[in-house]
Structure 1
Amino acid sequence: MSNVTESVDVQVPLRTVYNQWTQFESFPQFMDGVDEIRQLDETHTHWVTSIGGVKREFDATITEQHADERVAWTTESGAKHAGVITFHRLNDTETRVTAQMDIDPDGLAETVADKTGVIARKVKGDMARFKEFIEARGRETGEWRGDVDAGS
């Protein structure tokens, strides 16, 4: 299992940054290799990815979510990974977003990508593209302010 941690400082207020992150269906606009995400209900998503010519589908469950603080998830099918995104107010107009992920590579290609740092670079690129996406917009495309307690 591999651990990846990446942070990015975004020149947008905390509430706006968090609200945008809750719009999972917008992720293909800034996440490389993510073709589609469908929000099935408040805590379940279905992902379709195409990475390195390999198309995969998997389901993920939001295991904890607190407005303006964190969103945690784990996969329920497909390659195993879990993580948490945390949001930190730096000042009225700047927010730090930190992704911490545990990834269990599935197959030879993913194992090689993990060992050579490709997965870590992909996460770094996705975070940079999120920064560009939300800063260019200056506002969120929607919001979900609900609460999901760990273990519920």
Structure 2
Amino acid sequence: MTTMEKSVTVDVPVHEVYDQWTQFESFPKFMEGVEEVRQLDDTHLHWKAQIAGVEREWDAEIVDQTPDERITWRATGGAKNDGTVSFAPVEGGKCTRVTLRMDFEPEGFAEKAGDMLHIVQSRVGGDLDRFKDFIEHAGSATGGWRGEVKPGDVDRGGLGSMGTTGTTGTTGMTGTTGPGSPGNAGFEDMSGRGLDDGTMPPV
């Protein structure tokens, strides 16, 4: 098991930084090797990525989510990948300190070799730097979800009960959205997530 922790200071208030991070389907725009993230519902994600040259897929479950503070997840299938991203206002609230802590289990010779060379750690640091550039360039979040997930609330039996509390959705740049891609007002899927209108700002 490899544990890594990286931080970056973003010149955007915590509310906007947190909202952007909840747009999980935008992750391939700034995360190296991530090919696709699909939001299955409020607390479940499916990932597809290249890790040390090997294509991997896994499911993840959000087990703790507090707006403007933290999001914690655990892998439920496939590659071992658990972690927490936390958000803290700094410089009088003008900026945000984003800290990403991950537990990663390398599998196979290629991934173990990559782990020894700290390739994964370097990638995480690069992802945070690209996220910083992404949100600073945009100036505000492309969407957001202000719901809350409390530890123990998540349905362990599958995708039935969402186990979330709070407001399902907030107004982003392109309309009312929930977690996932930026959306158009009035065009939301059954989980409350907006549909991608293709207006994500360039990095």
Separation in 1, partners of 2:27, 2:53: 19
Amino acid at match of 1:137: A
Amino acid at match of 1:21: W
Separation in 2, partners of 1:3, 1:36: 23
Greater helix content: 1
Q: Does 1:148 align with 2:149?
A: yes
Aligned to 2:89: 89
Aligned to 1:116: 117
Q: What per-residue deviation string (whole Å, max 9, x for no partner) do you get for residues 89-139 of structure 1?
A: 002220000001111111111111111111100000000000000000011
Separation in 2, partners of 1:124, 1:53: 18
Q: How does 1:131-146 map to 2 (within 5 A)?
A: 131-146=132-147
Greater strand content: 1
Aligned to 1:20: 20
Identity of aligned residues (%): 50
Separation in 1, partners of 2:122, 2:58: 22
Unaligned runs of 5+ in 2: 154-203
Q: Name the Cα RMSD after superposition.
A: 0.9
Q: How many residues are matched?
A: 152
- Residue 77 of structure 1 and its aligned partner are, at CA, apart by 1.1
Separation in 2, partners of 1:54, 1:25: 21
Separation in 2, partners of 1:79, 1:106: 8
Q: Which ranges of 4 or more aligned residues in structure 1 deviate by more than 3 Å? A: none
Secondary structure, counterpart of 2:32 in structure 1: coil
Q: Does 1:125 align with 2:126?
A: yes
Larger Rg: 2
Task: Give the TM-score normalised by structure 1.
Answer: 0.97
Separation in 1, partners of 2:115, 2:149: 30
Contact 2:53–2:110 (CA under 8 A) maintained in structure 1: no
Q: 1:117 to 1:52 in 2, by over 3 A?
A: closer
Amino acid at match of 1:19: D
Secondary structure, counterpart of 2:71 in structure 1: strand
Amino acid at match of 2:71: V
Unaligned runs of 5+ in 1: none
* RCO higher in structure (CA 8 A, sep ≥6): 1
- Residue 70 of structure 1 and its aligned partner are, at CA, apart by 0.2
Separation in 2, partners of 1:102, 1:58: 14
Separation in 2, partners of 1:52, 1:99: 20
Secondary structure, counterpart of 1:125 in structure 2: helix
Secondary structure, counterpart of 1:139 in structure 2: coil
Amino acid at match of 2:47: W
